[in-house]
Amino acid sequence: MQRIVIAGGAGFVGATLAVYLAAQGYEVVAADNLRRRGSEFNLPRLAAAGVRFEHADARCSEDWRFLREFDPEVILDCAAQPSAVDGYSNPAADFTNNTLPLIHLLEHCRTSGCGLVLWSTNKVFSKAAVDAWAGPFTRRESRIEGANPIDEACHLDGGDRSLYGASKVMADLMVQEWSDAFGFPAVVNRFSCLAGPWQWGKAEQGWVAWWVIAHRLGMPLQYIGYEGRQVRDVLSIDDLCTLVNVQIMNMKSGSEVFNVGGGSEFTMSLRECTVICQGITGQRVPVETVEQPRRADFVWYVSDIDKVSTRYSWQPTEASNPGKLIERIDAWVCDHLDKLRMLYPKMQAQEEAAG
């Protein structure tokens, strides 16, 4: 039985992975500081799955002392401050949460030989680099269409990736450097859009789930830039779990880097998501169009997944079909409306206070 530690293990990705891997026979510890609202609701899920929980803050080295006792064979680092929007009001937050704390995990891997899987992001690439790679663009009624999916060769230069993206590209490169220098196995997954049930979405992160929640709770939405025609590829949490399981079983010395998402087959614009949500929920909500895009926001990002598909004989399945995925998210939302009604006013109040 392999021993797995999941940093950020009470979040959407971390908790779902913990439950999935425990069912596959792994011994799993989920570590989380429970800072993000909604993560506390995952604790009963973890307990029911036989997952041990450790209250740990990624920034505090003392909180990771349990690693020596548990002696994991692989660490999955899902812990992050995930918003690409909020960083400009508090620039240090992204780096103190997403970059500096990684030292604790890397040093454990260096001294123990433990493997590491890092949750990186498509935001490591600058907007200019993605636009140059993806273009030319074609404007259609419900979306803007690019020509070339983004693969791992897209360069990392540029200052228009957001502070969040900068914090993640630093972590991304740190993992590669430590792994290659000290010989422990590491995988860096540069994810596009991830979605599924148990995602307590927000407008700036977890947007697919947020779209569904907003329709069910009657909350207004915004198209910020591009008239809602911006496009992302979407990967179901189920397909992600399958991939990570295969990656754990096939780790090798040194680092490997992959762009990971739903690929060209599973893509969606904001406008298209609105139409799907309206059809599934039977409800409409006000949608405001904001002309100015967010800084560093891609108009079109679709992952070229050829490298990861070839390496692991893996492909996204129908679980990542946007319509079917939104149906599953909506079923979860309907089952948890009481918690969602309680949670979202508090999230909004906290964000307004922080602003």
Report, as an integer, the average pLDDT of 64-89. 85
Give residue 86's pLDDT.
Answer: 54
Give residue 125's pLDDT.
Answer: 97
Q: Higher model confidence: residue 342 or residue 351? A: 342
The structural domain count of the chain equals: 1
Element (H, E) at 189: strand 185-191
Report, as an integer, the average pLDDT of 324-346. 91
- With beta carbons less than 8 A apart as the criterion, state whether 239 and 316 touch: yes
Residue 193 has pLDDT above 50, yes or no: yes
Report, as an integer, the average pLDDT of 45-64. 95
Domain containing residue 232: CATH number: 3.40.50.720
Report, as an integer, the average pLDDT of 288-293. 95
Q: Does 280 map to a domain?
A: yes
Question: Over the stretch 242-251, which tens digit does the pLDDT of each residue have?
Answer: 999 999 999 9
H and E: helices and strands count for the chain: 13, 15
SS3 49: coil
Give residue 30's pLDDT.
Answer: 98
Confidence of residue 85 (pLDDT cuts 50, 70, 90): low
Report, as an integer, the average pLDDT of 6-22. 97
Residue 355 has pLDDT above 90, yes or no: no
Q: Does 158 map to a domain?
A: yes
Question: Shortest CA distance to 177 belongs to which of 130, 110, 223, 128?
Answer: 110
Give the residue numbers spanning the domain of 267: 80-354
Report, as an integer, the average pLDDT of 211-219. 96
Q: Does 31 map to a domain?
A: no
CA–CA separation, 6 and 57 (whole Å) = 12
Give residue 57's pLDDT.
Answer: 92
